[in-house]
Structure 1
């Protein structure tokens, strides 16, 4: 009996040494926390067979929907296609949904869209209980002006001029902080489109908004409109808003955007959508 017990003990000891040798002396045992996070949103997309992407679709160059054909085009649309391809989906497995700045984030929370590409910032996504991937665009303030009117390119040339911004928006606050014009000359409107219409009719001398936004309008009407970039204030980052708690999808979307920046796809798509004549923002800085 003693010989049998001694033999069994030796066998167990040998097996233990073999396990340690296979795993390496410093390699920890696999744990649940070290596995890649599973994406509930990606599972929902896979089960459905398509991804639903929310867009504002009211800004030429960034995202615009043709009122006749219903087709979407713009930089954010191309980004949506890039994301879908990166997730293993085909073009016919993408559904774009037009939303507004007010309904975009709530739609992600409600699950009616999977992600939102509409100029949201991380500071907006967080309080809504959402995660932010990217960023996919860094946007400073820009000025849109008529080529036939006053050349309004900076705070000095805008002094005393009527400058239109969207009322109660972050862009309006940025224009006010940058002292673009006299406080009484900073005109509020309900949308950038209304501001551009006011500019066209001569009601205002310039439109202040994020550079990609005003660049889109200039690219849509290059014969009449021009745009300039302002050195201040500090730019903001546009992010991809996605459901809270889905860190697996957040990391995957961030990798897709990072690859597009490093391989030149990002710059190509931006130039194609927003033209090369307007000032171009630098590609976004994406944390690793």
Structure 2
């Protein structure tokens, strides 16, 4: 009898250990797939005590640096602060760095910045050996024109006109593919700000860029500038460019954007920064 009792007690004890190891019916054990992988970039941020985010910073409403104060504002700035808090830092532990279309992705690859927000596309990031998260915005091409000049609102009215776009950028490729104007009339500059200066001086008749960009400039100077959306080509996803191989950071960033879209934070921040003028894009579709 003692042997039977001892054997039964051992069996019960073993079953109890098994239940604890499995987490019990009300507390399932975490699986590897539910936890983001380790992130070398996140560790670097944590050790440093800040995240360094690259921006174009010449696009009012999206990301703009005040030349007098040096402060940054816009939708992508708000998004950068949201990302910082989502990664366990604070909104004050963000350093923004102004980059160009030429320097943005190489800066991420070199580790000069931790991530880049500024209209990067997945194809270009992949070509640079980088990973992407998001998308955080889906936008089609738009045109910015002077209210006192020719109304350049579509490919038909842009034909034969001088149209400026940023060199070596996705929007330059889209403008060329859309055949907005004669090839020799599609001029380029190093920044959209320079294109807008050319538009103001009459050097060009329109600026071609993503709709939120031209909308932001129109909102900043509504007395003189207007923006319009182009029906083609199809919209492009803005993604977060991050170091290649860092799948842990990719997963974390995508979850942060997905949550912002789901809980309404994305729409609130977009409306506050870009909702005053022009058509609004729908929130991006985040892959699960």
Is the 8 Å Cα contact of residues 260 and 266 (structure 1) preserved in structure 2?
yes
The CA deviation at 1:172 is: 2.3
Is the 8 Å Cα contact of residues 61 and 213 (structure 1) preserved in structure 2?
yes
CA deviation string 1:108-157 (max 9, x = no partner) = 22222221112111112223222211111112100101111111211122
Q: Cα 1:101–1:162, aligned 2, differ >3 Å: closer, same or farther?
A: closer
Is the 8 Å Cα contact of residues 218 and 277 (structure 2) preserved in structure 1?
no
Residue in structure 2 matched with residue 208 of structure 1 by the alignment: 208
Q: 1: CA distance between counterparts of 2:65 and 2:29?
A: 52
The CA deviation at 1:34 is: 6.9
The CA deviation at 1:227 is: 0.3
Residue in structure 1 matched with residue 193 of structure 2 by the alignment: 193
Residue in structure 2 matched with residue 267 of structure 1 by the alignment: 267
Q: 2: CA distance between counterparts of 1:131 and 1:121?
A: 11
Residue in structure 2 matched with residue 250 of structure 1 by the alignment: 250
Which residues in structure 2 correspond to 1:25-36 (within 5 Å)? Answer: 36=36
Is the 8 Å Cα contact of residues 122 and 239 (structure 2) preserved in structure 1?
yes
The CA deviation at 1:187 is: 2.7
Q: 2: CA distance between counterparts of 1:169 and 1:254?
A: 24
**Hey, which bits of structure 1, 4+ residues long, moved more than 4 A?**
6-22, 28-35
Is the 8 Å Cα contact of residues 227 and 279 (structure 1) preserved in structure 2?
no
Q: Cα 1:64–1:251, aligned 2, differ >3 Å: closer, same or farther?
A: same
TM-score by length of 1: 0.87
Which residues in structure 2 correspond to 1:163-174 (within 5 Å)? Answer: 163-174=163-174
Superposed CA RMSD in Å reads 2.7
Count of residue pairs brought into register by the alignment: 284
In structure 1, stretches of 5+ residues that fail to align are none
Residue in structure 2 matched with residue 81 of structure 1 by the alignment: 81
CA deviation string 1:35-88 (max 9, x = no partner) = 541222222222222211121212222111111211111111111111112223
Larger Rg, first or second structure (1 or 2): 1
In structure 2, stretches of 5+ residues that fail to align are none
